[in-house]
Chains A and B, each alone.
Chain A
Amino acid sequence: MTALFLRDLKLSVRAGGGALIGILFFLTIVAVVPFGVGPDLNLLSRIGPAIVWISALLAALLGLDRLFQAERDDGSLDLMLMHETPLVITVFVKCLAHWTASGLPLALAAPLLGVFMNMTETAIGVTMLTLLVGSPAITFIGAVGAAVAVALPRGGLLVSILVLPLTIPILIFGVSATYAAVHKPTPFLPPFLMLIALTLFFAVIGPAATALALRNTSD
């Protein structure tokens, strides 16, 4: 399984892997917002965490459709389906590798973009923390969509549409935890713990549903 993890990491970094595209997309959206909203620093710092979270969500969805399609195109998926390691574990490891290559960099790039949005130190730190905790859930949900659309030639958009409604709770709790940390009277812990719970929940449900979908779409 370590071999699978390392292979997927290598693939996402090598040419055509697409790990960088997500970060570039993330940077582009956040960098463009101040131009659209105007130079009102108070407004920017107020909407900053939400903008960073929304951009990260969209960027995380961007590369998901290739998660299994690339494997299917060259026949590797067949061999993975045959193997006796439970498919759930194979899927889990693939999600983990995908998150490490494309979700983790988003969280790490968030502080830089926080500066663009005139966010305070606390807001920047908490946005990074919530992204770090919340983004794996996006990958686990997205994997289900990717598995359902694996046989479709242009399934990319479909995956995003299928997955987006399910990721809304993550967005809500991620952003509200950030705001709670900045505006003192509201407690920070409840939404943050909900975010952790969502990630753990989808880490279990996601791979199981993905494995089921992959088994049924094989032809």
Chain B
Amino acid sequence: MYLAAENLAARRAGDLIFVNASFRLTRGEALILTGHNGSGKSTLLRVVAGFLLPEKGSVKFSDSQGRTDRRPSEVCHYLGHRNAMKNELTVAENLRFWRSFLDDGSQAPTASIEDAAEAVGLGSITHLPFGYLSAGQQRRFAFAKLLVAHRPIWILDEPTAALDTNADRLFTALIGEHQKNGGIVLAATHQSLGLRNVKELHMKCFAGVETEVWGA
């Protein structure tokens, strides 16, 4: 299984945001996008997730059987700046909806609603409306959404914004678990997150990109 991007370039509102972004990730690998605000991290993630058409280049995905007929966006979880949860519904209703909506019919194991809430450390409050929760709690439940349906690739756009250090560690552990199960992670972040098996792509505004390998 791999996810590869070749010479991606993207344009937003007429301006070229980045050019020649390439990477290739296989089972269990993670790619961390770094760079200052406005350097194109989110744009690159949105191109990979299929929301924006690349100006140039392509994103390819091949699953564990070597099939390449699925669009990359179909095998990705995307956790953006917004949580994609409804304030009016309770946490359990939100998670239950995404669980059945995102269910792709595969036999891959997924966490139940209770287990997912437990995994993000908030097992006892799934009966509350999502809108009642604090920003950090909302973020944690948005993350729990990734656990209730299986996707081999996680695309995370600043996943740890609005979180305390405890939650930081929790997320790192969950992402590590996902990698251990053969998943691929793409994350834009300002913290190193302390992940293993990580590549870094440093984004520089309007001036292409640099790649280097971290730890690994």
Contact = CB atoms under 8 A, between A and B. Distances in A.
A20 B80 CA distance: 32
15 contacts: A3-B97, A7-B86, A16-B88, A74-B85, A75-B84, A76-B85, A81-B50, A81-B51, A81-B73, A82-B49, A82-B50, A82-B74, A82-B78, A84-B71, A219-B12
B84 A10 contact: no
A151 to B, nearest CB: 12
A214 B123 CA distance: 36
Interface residues of B, number: 29
Given A74-B83, A75-B81, A84 B74 contact: yes
Contacts of B76: 82
A78 to B, nearest CB: 6
Contacts of B86: 7, 11, 74, 76
A3 B80 contact: no
Nearest to B145: A79
Interface in B28-85: 49-52, 70-71, 73-74, 76, 78, 80-85
B93 interface: yes
Interface of B: 12, 49-52, 70-71, 73-74, 76, 78, 80-89, 93, 96-98, 100-102, 104
A76 B89 CA distance: 13
B83 to A, nearest CB: 6
Which residue, A7, A80, A83, A218, has most C-beta atoms of chain B within 10 A?
A: A7
Contact of A7 (B50, B84, B97): B97
B100 A3 contact: yes
Interface string A79-123: 111111000000000000000000000000000000000000000
Contacts of A78: 49, 51, 78, 80, 82, 84
A118 B157 CA distance: 60
Contacts of B96: 3
Given A78-B78, A79-B98, A82-B73, A7 B89 contact: yes
A37 interface: no
Interface of A: 2-4, 7, 10-11, 14-17, 73-76, 78-84, 218-219
B101 A4 contact: yes
A14 B87 CA distance: 10
A79 B84 contact: yes
Contacts of A79: 78, 84, 98, 101-102
Given A14-B89, A73-B82, A82-B50, 16 more contacts: A3-B100, A4-B101, A7-B86, A7-B97, A10-B93, A11-B86, A16-B88, A75-B81, A75-B84, A78-B82, A78-B84, A81-B50, A82-B49, A83-B101, A219-B12, A219-B52
Nearest to A81: B51
Which residue, A15, A17, A84, has most C-beta atoms of chain B within 10 A?
A: A84
Contact of A218 (B51, B84, B104): B51
Contacts of A2: 100
